[in-house]
Structure 1
Amino acid sequence: MTMINPAGIPHGYNTPIPSEILTADRVETRIGTLEFTDGFPSDDTAAKVFDHLDFLRAVEVFLQCVPAASMEGLRAGLLDIGCDAAHKMVIADRLLDSNPLFLTGNTDTVYALAMLDLHRDGPTVVQIPPGCGPGTVNDAWFRFVTDMGAPGPDRGAGGNYLIVPPEYEGEIPDGYFVSHSPSYTNLLALRGFVVEGKTDVAKAMFEDGVKIYPLSAADARPEMEFSSFSGKEFNTIHANDRTFYNEMADVIRREPIDVIDPETRGLLASIGIRKDRAFAPDEQMCGTLADAAAVGNATARSIVFQTRDKRAYFYEDRKWKTGFVGGDYRWLDGDGRDGRNMDARTMFFYQATLNTPAMALEMVGVGSQYALTERDASGAFLQGSHSYRLTLPSGVPAKDFWSVIVYDPQTRSELQTGQPLPSRSSENNRTELVYNDDGSIDLTFSPEPPSEHRGNWIQTVPSKSWYAILRLYGPLKPWFDKTWKPHDIERI
């Protein structure tokens, strides 16, 4: 302990020293007792704080890198079902059911997915046909590259896009909508709509109209290969245990050095993930990473399902939340003056994919809007053993259609029940739905079907929790000005 004489000068000094800059010989903290000798940390203290520093940085890697790990999960999952070349595309030609594990995928649109490898192929051409639904290209960190279709520069008329890799210095020909990606890996996701309850039109549109090929192979382009992924069992979701860090090591090894900023590179390097070195943590670091992944996972789940940000809620008197806290697809708060809201970014990417301004901005009649809830009107988590009712008032503000889909909080994928498509949609189920006399509709959720209005029922699982997402396709002004709002889910 530093002794202070009556003049206020500590022992060993000639002048008064502010107490706030001194370190006591013994300090009690949340990581235990820290010991010092005149400011020198003991060996035990140094070991303790360095281990804690590794833990802190590994937790931060988990939280900051969820977007990249999620894209890596998609890349690996799609590779498992044959997406090993740009011209190989998979289509949910019978819609996206609950067999594949996809972060909050929807049962309403016909997905067409391809993975672009710009390191392998160089600049890559994507031709899309007229009438294509919302399409998006995201890079390896799930950052927005371009939209296609209605919200894209072709405005639904179709067109030729060129996705250019980082550091490309070659000639770029005219006649393309050109986008430069910061990464080699890019996800292309196109969506088509169900017509009269069938997917045939969308499937034909993709198979007849989509062409993907390297620009260098324009004169000898490979024939497109399409396959169905409806009903297939495969995983696209990142790990929540220590192997999360192996996934990130693969991303860093594969992508160009400038795919992320030096601070993030340094954060990864601090726990052994470097561009040009093998990731080989020792036994102690493996234990630290296991703990950090557990805490990172718990933190992400708390941010999503126990958010403390009041801006996440659409309404003061409802439990419905947005996926885009702050209303910016880059999660920049206050037009960027408050920096990036990292919790808001984690809230989105831990449970969702596809990043586009069309989902965050107010675009009346274009794109889609989402609201989610994991709680009933009383604030309790939704449980599969109970029965619930959701009332959507008349005049649902969707130019195209609306849907409600239920999800498993463990996988953040569609809840696996006796219904392959755990949802109700004003388009896909229009002949089954029964509306009330005032135009409103009551949807029910329970493990067993109700005695009436079974077409309004979504099945749950007694042993599992669940949560719901309401989607509006072609959202209208009453959604944005909140003159229309859904009821909370009520237990019955």
Structure 2
Amino acid sequence: MTHRRLRSLLFLAAMASVSLIHVGPATANGTSAYTFNQGYPTAETSAKAYDDADLQRAITAYRFWYPTVSVEGIFNGNRSIGIKDNEAMGAAAAGPRQVGFTLNSDTPYGSATIDVSKGPMVVELPPGAYIGLVNDHNQGWVLDMGLPGPDAGKGGKHLVIGPDYKGAVPEGYLVGHTPTYKNLLAVRALPVGGDQPKALAALQAVKIYPLADAADPKPAKVVNTTEMAIDSTSLKWEDNIQFWQKLSEIIEQEPVIEKYLPMYGLLAELGIEKGKAFEPDARMAAILEKAAREGRDQLHVSAFDSTRSDRFAWPDRKWEWVGLVPGSVQFETPTGGIDLEARDRWFAQAIVTSPAMFRRTPGAGSLYWLAARDGTGAYLDGGKTYKLTIPQPVPGKLFWSVTAYDAQTRSEVQTDQDKAALRSLFELKDVKGSDPVDLYFGPRAPEGQEGRWIKTVPGRGWFAYIRIYGPEGPAFDGSWKPADFEEVR
């Protein structure tokens, strides 16, 4: 047994043996939550303490394992339309009909579930304007590919190696090691010059096949899902007992990851343990249902009402950074810990991680900013009309966009307009020069502004992302910044 594993097991044992709630003698003023008689808990106190401890454990477990269940939603979305693991990849010029956490319509997407339980898998990209990555079943980063990866857009063969593989690693591959069997491949083809059909067709050239078949590969087929209504989220599971049922299935399918040992200990206390059936009694089921609701709500607070001062992109604006830990691989802090608030905030509204996504340097792949409030500090309301002024030129070498998302689904707003984005390569391709451009959001378009308007839904809150692809210096030094949303009365 390694020293590191021994320390993890000792920590887990300590977690299991020490109560999460400090209890002591009842105080004269009645401030204690529990009642003791001669130092011993009453029956009511013991029942309450166990319920409270299990709820606390469950909420902590929910928040930690949320990314794991969230990515299972993506796998499930593909499978629901017949896209099987290792056998096919979905490709779409996405829109509101594709429900997914902050998906956008800027570039066509390709996504596939890669299963390495039977051996390494190859992802072959041709040269071109691709941005791609592989994440494990816990949305941990495995490798980048395309422009932000080691092939730098020149194309290459990427090899995803699982935890059980003992064979030799052949030469000529760009290698990523994953601790899980199921993994997400997400790849985008940039619509250079505004040619969306060409970019969508470029995804057909992505090849996925087992390393064992490299001598005579039969690549997974690529299925165009643009016109399909797909739910690639965990929305239907996230606030009820199904969250825990899905998590139990994943724990059973995947190998144990050593660095997560204390978190497996939390799950064991809740009845989720590898090799054992998940059969909560009525008491535990009620606690888990409550924890799912409260855990989900706590994540939403982290996403939309953070108190972090470092969230603001500019001191005189309401726009916020979506990623709070710049340049991190997995939300690491400079002192060696994990920024849990940043992690919660990201996964409550978004999917996948990569160090390339969180860079704040000129020339990085892309920058994301979030606005959930107008300039007065009020949340954006789907029943009101807003104007957003974007100074020109926007400091991006490639293109930029503004996308509107529903606050409850964290997916593109769905209306009969069937559009949720205003993009420099498409709707705004006529924007030239240095004059600011005004964009509009609301239930009805202001007269004459139909081409620069996104429809929103009364009674539903919404938020926006600004994305800049290939950002340049003014995006970072404060010499360029968008206005806040301004209500039009």
Q: Is TM (by shorter chain) over 0.5?
A: yes
Find the residue that maps to 2:98 and give its secondary structure.
Answer: coil
- The answer to whether the 8 A contact 1:197-1:429 is kept is no
Q: Does 1:468 align with 2:464?
A: yes
The equivalent of 1:408 in structure 2 is 406
1:190-214 per-residue CA deviation (whole Å, 9 max, x = no partner) reads 111224433222233221x311111
Instruction: Give the direction of change, closer, same or farther, for the CA distance of 1:22–1:109 in structure 2 (3 Å limit).
Output: closer
Partner of 2:309: 310
Give 1:46's aligned residue. 46
Larger CA deviation: 292-301 vs 445-454: 445-454
Q: Which residue of 2 aligns with 1:320?
A: 319
Report the equivalent of 1:204.
201
1:67-106 mapped onto 2 (5 Å cutoff): 67-92=67-92, 95-106=93-104
Residue 356 of structure 1 is matched in structure 2 by 354
Cα gap change, 1:456 to 1:49, in 2 (>3 Å): same
- Between the aligned partners of 1:25 and 1:329, the Cα distance in structure 2 is 47
Alignment map for 1:68-467 (pairs within 5 Å): 68-92=68-92, 95-119=93-117, 121-207=118-204, 209-238=205-234, 239-242=237-240, 243-258=242-257, 261-327=260-326, 328-333=328-333, 335-337=334-336, 339-431=337-429, 433=430, 438-467=434-463
Say if 1:434 and 1:453, in contact at 8 Å, map to a contact too. Answer: no
Q: What is the letter of the counterpart of residue 52 of structure 2? A: H
| Distance verdict in 2 for CA 1:434–1:481, change over 3 Å | closer
- Return the offset for 1:22: 9.9
Tell me if structure 2 keeps the 8 A contact 1:311–1:326.
Answer: no
The structure having more radius of gyration, on CA atoms, is 1
SS of 2:157 mapped into structure 1: strand
Please list every run of 5 or more consecutive structure 1 residues that lacks an aligned counterpart in the other structure: 1-20
The answer to whether the 8 A contact 1:194-1:428 is kept is no
Counterpart contact for 2:136–2:142, Cα < 8 Å: yes
SS in 1 for 2:34: strand
Q: 1:349 to 1:29 in 2, by over 3 A?
A: farther
Q: What do the CA deviations read for 1:413-470 (whole angstroms, capped 9, x no partner)?
A: 0000122221100012234x556x7421110112112211322111111232111000
Tell me, yes or no, if the aligned pair for 2:157 and 2:174 is still in contact at 8 Å: yes
Whole-Å Cα distance in 2 between the matches of residues 28 and 281 of structure 1?
A: 38
**Does the 8 Å CA contact 1:372/1:467 hold for their aligned counterparts?**
yes
Q: 1:28, 1:34 within 8 Å by CA — same for their partners in 2?
A: no
Moved more, 351-360 or 226-235: 226-235
Task: Quickly say closer, same or farther: Cα 1:53–1:28, change in 2 above 3 A.
Answer: farther
- Within 5 Å, which residues of 2 pair with 1:53-64? 53-64=53-64
Structure 2, unaligned stretches of length 5 or more?
A: 1-21
Q: Residues of 1 paired with 2:421 and 2:263: CA distance?
A: 39
Q: In 1, distance between residues paired with 2:347 and 2:249? A: 19
TM-score (norm: length of structure 2): 0.91
Query: Normalised by the size of structure 1, how large is the TM-score?
Result: 0.90
Looking at structure 2, the residues matched to 446 and 198 of structure 1 have their Cα atoms a distance apart, in angstroms, of: 28
When residues 232 and 71 of structure 1 are mapped into structure 2, their CA distance, relative to the original with a 3 A threshold, is: same
Separation in 2 of the partners of 1:272 and 1:101?
31
The 5 Å alignment of 1:20-39 reads 23-26=24-27, 33-39=33-39
The secondary structure found in structure 2 opposite 1:50 is helix
Say which SS state the counterpart of residue 219 (structure 1) adopts. Answer: coil
User: SS at 1:445's partner residue?
Assistant: strand
Q: Determine the C-alpha separation between the residues in 2 that align with 1:272 and 1:23.
A: 28
Correspondence for 2:10? none
Identify if the C-alpha distance between structure 1 residues 174 and 248 changes in structure 2 by more than 3 Å, giving closer, same or farther. same
Cα deviation 1:51-71 (Å, max 9, x = unaligned):
111100111111111111111
Contact 1:407-1:468 at 8 Å conserved across structures:
yes
Q: Which amino acid aligns with 1:326?
A: V
